[in-house]
Amino acid sequence: MDNFVQEILLSHEDIVEVCETLGKKINADYAGKRPILIGLLKGSVPFLAELIKHVHIDMELDFIHASSYVGTTSSGAVMIIKDMNTPVAGRHLILVEDIVDTGLTIKEVKNLLKDRGAKSVEVVTMLDKPQGRTVMEVNPKYIGRTIPNKFVIGFGLDYNELYRNLDYIGVLKESVYKH
Protein backbone atom coordinates (compact mmCIF):
# COMPACT_ATOMS: atom_id res chain seq x y z
CA MET A 1 0.00 0.00 0.00
CA ASP A 2 1.26 3.48 -0.85
CA ASN A 3 2.28 5.70 2.08
CA PHE A 4 -0.35 8.38 1.25
CA VAL A 5 -3.20 5.84 1.44
CA GLN A 6 -5.02 5.18 4.72
CA GLU A 7 -6.81 2.05 3.48
CA ILE A 8 -7.68 0.26 0.24
CA LEU A 9 -11.42 0.12 -0.49
CA LEU A 10 -11.30 -1.75 -3.82
CA SER A 11 -8.42 -3.75 -5.22
CA HIS A 12 -7.90 -3.92 -8.98
CA GLU A 13 -9.55 -7.36 -8.94
CA ASP A 14 -12.58 -5.88 -7.13
CA ILE A 15 -12.83 -3.15 -9.78
CA VAL A 16 -12.79 -5.69 -12.63
CA GLU A 17 -15.49 -7.72 -10.88
CA VAL A 18 -17.64 -4.58 -10.44
CA CYS A 19 -17.26 -3.77 -14.15
CA GLU A 20 -18.23 -7.31 -15.18
CA THR A 21 -21.39 -7.12 -13.08
CA LEU A 22 -22.33 -3.65 -14.36
CA GLY A 23 -21.59 -4.67 -17.96
CA LYS A 24 -23.99 -7.62 -17.69
CA LYS A 25 -26.77 -5.35 -16.40
CA ILE A 26 -26.21 -2.82 -19.19
CA ASN A 27 -26.14 -5.61 -21.80
CA ALA A 28 -29.50 -6.89 -20.58
CA ASP A 29 -31.17 -3.48 -20.28
CA TYR A 30 -29.93 -2.01 -23.56
CA ALA A 31 -29.96 -4.98 -25.93
CA GLY A 32 -31.03 -3.68 -29.34
CA LYS A 33 -30.97 -0.01 -28.25
CA ARG A 34 -27.44 1.23 -29.18
CA PRO A 35 -26.87 3.60 -26.26
CA ILE A 36 -24.24 6.31 -26.10
CA LEU A 37 -21.96 5.87 -23.10
CA ILE A 38 -20.83 9.33 -22.05
CA GLY A 39 -17.74 9.47 -19.89
CA LEU A 40 -17.55 12.37 -17.46
CA LEU A 41 -13.97 13.54 -17.72
CA LYS A 42 -11.46 13.11 -16.33
CA GLY A 43 -12.15 10.63 -13.56
CA SER A 44 -14.33 8.20 -15.49
CA VAL A 45 -11.66 7.25 -18.06
CA PRO A 46 -10.14 4.19 -16.31
CA PHE A 47 -13.60 2.99 -15.21
CA LEU A 48 -15.07 3.51 -18.68
CA ALA A 49 -12.12 1.69 -20.29
CA GLU A 50 -12.64 -1.33 -18.03
CA LEU A 51 -16.45 -1.21 -18.21
CA ILE A 52 -16.68 -1.31 -22.01
CA LYS A 53 -14.65 -4.53 -22.05
CA HIS A 54 -17.78 -6.11 -20.53
CA VAL A 55 -20.43 -4.31 -22.61
CA HIS A 56 -21.20 -6.60 -25.55
CA ILE A 57 -23.96 -4.65 -27.30
CA ASP A 58 -23.78 -2.02 -30.03
CA MET A 59 -22.86 1.26 -28.36
CA GLU A 60 -21.15 4.56 -28.98
CA LEU A 61 -18.78 6.62 -26.82
CA ASP A 62 -18.49 10.32 -26.17
CA PHE A 63 -17.27 12.56 -23.38
CA ILE A 64 -18.27 15.61 -21.37
CA HIS A 65 -15.92 17.43 -19.04
CA ALA A 66 -17.97 18.96 -16.25
CA SER A 67 -16.57 19.95 -12.90
CA SER A 68 -17.74 21.24 -9.54
CA TYR A 69 -14.69 20.37 -7.42
CA VAL A 70 -11.76 22.37 -6.14
CA GLY A 71 -9.42 20.25 -4.01
CA THR A 72 -11.53 17.99 -1.79
CA THR A 73 -14.79 19.96 -1.78
CA SER A 74 -17.53 20.83 -4.24
CA SER A 75 -17.64 24.47 -5.32
CA GLY A 76 -21.43 24.26 -5.69
CA ALA A 77 -21.34 25.40 -9.32
CA VAL A 78 -21.01 23.09 -12.35
CA MET A 79 -18.93 24.20 -15.31
CA ILE A 80 -19.03 22.46 -18.71
CA ILE A 81 -15.39 22.54 -19.79
CA LYS A 82 -15.72 20.23 -22.84
CA ASP A 83 -19.01 19.36 -24.46
CA MET A 84 -19.78 16.17 -26.36
CA ASN A 85 -19.86 15.99 -30.17
CA THR A 86 -22.64 13.44 -30.76
CA PRO A 87 -26.25 14.63 -31.20
CA VAL A 88 -28.38 13.09 -28.45
CA ALA A 89 -31.97 13.79 -29.56
CA GLY A 90 -33.99 10.57 -29.42
CA ARG A 91 -31.05 8.55 -28.07
CA HIS A 92 -30.57 6.43 -24.95
CA LEU A 93 -27.68 7.81 -22.89
CA ILE A 94 -25.68 6.32 -20.05
CA LEU A 95 -23.56 8.76 -18.09
CA VAL A 96 -20.41 7.02 -16.88
CA GLU A 97 -19.12 8.49 -13.62
CA ASP A 98 -16.27 7.48 -11.34
CA ILE A 99 -18.13 8.58 -8.20
CA VAL A 100 -21.48 10.13 -7.36
CA ASP A 101 -20.97 12.25 -4.29
CA THR A 102 -22.97 15.49 -3.95
CA GLY A 103 -25.00 14.67 -7.07
CA LEU A 104 -24.69 18.23 -8.37
CA THR A 105 -22.68 17.44 -11.50
CA ILE A 106 -24.92 14.50 -12.44
CA LYS A 107 -28.08 16.56 -11.96
CA GLU A 108 -26.84 19.41 -14.16
CA VAL A 109 -25.49 17.15 -16.92
CA LYS A 110 -28.69 15.04 -16.95
CA ASN A 111 -30.81 18.20 -17.23
CA LEU A 112 -28.64 19.48 -20.08
CA LEU A 113 -28.98 16.21 -22.02
CA LYS A 114 -32.73 15.96 -21.41
CA ASP A 115 -33.08 19.55 -22.68
CA ARG A 116 -31.30 18.40 -25.85
CA GLY A 117 -33.98 15.75 -26.41
CA ALA A 118 -32.39 12.55 -25.10
CA LYS A 119 -34.86 9.66 -25.01
CA SER A 120 -33.44 8.45 -21.68
CA VAL A 121 -30.53 9.36 -19.43
CA GLU A 122 -29.26 6.89 -16.82
CA VAL A 123 -26.12 6.85 -14.70
CA VAL A 124 -23.58 4.11 -14.14
CA THR A 125 -21.09 4.86 -11.38
CA MET A 126 -18.20 2.87 -10.05
CA LEU A 127 -18.74 4.39 -6.58
CA ASP A 128 -21.74 5.88 -4.84
CA LYS A 129 -21.24 8.01 -1.72
CA PRO A 130 -24.82 8.71 -0.56
CA GLN A 131 -23.68 10.33 2.71
CA GLY A 132 -22.17 13.14 0.63
CA ARG A 133 -25.37 13.75 -1.35
CA THR A 134 -26.78 17.27 -1.36
CA VAL A 135 -28.98 16.70 -4.43
CA MET A 136 -31.32 14.03 -3.10
CA GLU A 137 -33.12 13.30 -6.39
CA VAL A 138 -29.92 11.87 -7.90
CA ASN A 139 -30.05 8.07 -7.71
CA PRO A 140 -27.76 6.23 -10.14
CA LYS A 141 -29.39 3.22 -11.82
CA TYR A 142 -26.15 1.22 -11.92
CA ILE A 143 -23.92 1.31 -8.85
CA GLY A 144 -20.66 -0.59 -8.54
CA ARG A 145 -20.09 -0.11 -4.82
CA THR A 146 -21.50 2.13 -2.12
CA ILE A 147 -18.76 3.65 0.01
CA PRO A 148 -18.58 5.61 3.28
CA ASN A 149 -18.10 9.38 3.35
CA LYS A 150 -14.32 9.34 2.91
CA PHE A 151 -12.08 11.08 0.36
CA VAL A 152 -11.04 8.43 -2.15
CA ILE A 153 -8.37 8.35 -4.84
CA GLY A 154 -7.17 6.01 -7.54
CA PHE A 155 -8.50 4.45 -10.74
CA GLY A 156 -9.41 7.88 -12.11
CA LEU A 157 -10.24 9.56 -8.80
CA ASP A 158 -7.87 12.36 -7.92
CA TYR A 159 -6.74 14.89 -5.41
CA ASN A 160 -5.60 18.02 -7.27
CA GLU A 161 -5.00 15.91 -10.40
CA LEU A 162 -2.78 13.38 -8.58
CA TYR A 163 -3.29 9.63 -8.00
CA ARG A 164 -5.63 8.95 -10.97
CA ASN A 165 -3.15 6.32 -12.21
CA LEU A 166 -3.45 3.97 -9.22
CA ASP A 167 -4.90 0.58 -10.19
CA TYR A 168 -6.93 0.42 -6.95
CA ILE A 169 -9.20 2.76 -4.99
CA GLY A 170 -8.02 3.92 -1.58
CA VAL A 171 -8.78 6.46 1.09
CA LEU A 172 -6.37 9.41 1.00
CA LYS A 173 -4.69 10.16 4.32
CA GLU A 174 -5.95 13.43 5.79
CA SER A 175 -2.35 14.51 6.40
CA VAL A 176 -1.97 14.86 2.60
CA TYR A 177 -4.70 17.47 2.22
CA LYS A 178 -5.11 19.05 5.68
CA HIS A 179 -2.15 21.25 6.47
pLDDT attached to residue 80 = 87
Give domain limits for the chain.
5-170
- For 5-170, CATH number out of 3.40.50.300, 3.30.390.50, 3.40.50.2020, 3.40.190.10 equals 3.40.50.2020
Tens digits of residue pLDDT in 20-50? 999 999 999 999 999 999 999 999 999 999 9
CB-based contact 81:67 (threshold 8 Å)? yes
CA 163 – CA 152 distance, rounded (Å): 10
Q: Does the annotation count 167 as an active-site position? A: no
pLDDT at 109: 94
Would you state the pLDDT for residue 69?
56
CA pair distance 58, 76, nearest whole angstrom:
36
Instruction: Tell me the torsion sign for CA atoms 158, 100, 72, 84.
Output: positive
Annotated active-site residue in 101, 115, 158, 167:
101
Residues of the chain with pLDDT under 70: 68-76, 179
Q: Give the tens place of pLDDT for each residue, 127-143.
A: 999 998 988 889 999 99
Query: Under 8 Å CB-to-CB from 21, ≥6 apart: which residues?
Result: 144
State the pLDDT at residue 66.
87
How many CB atoms are located within 10 Å of the residue 138 CB?
Answer: 19
Q: Prior bond to 42 cis, omega within 30? A: yes
* Helical spans, DSSP H, in 35-137: 44-51, 104-115
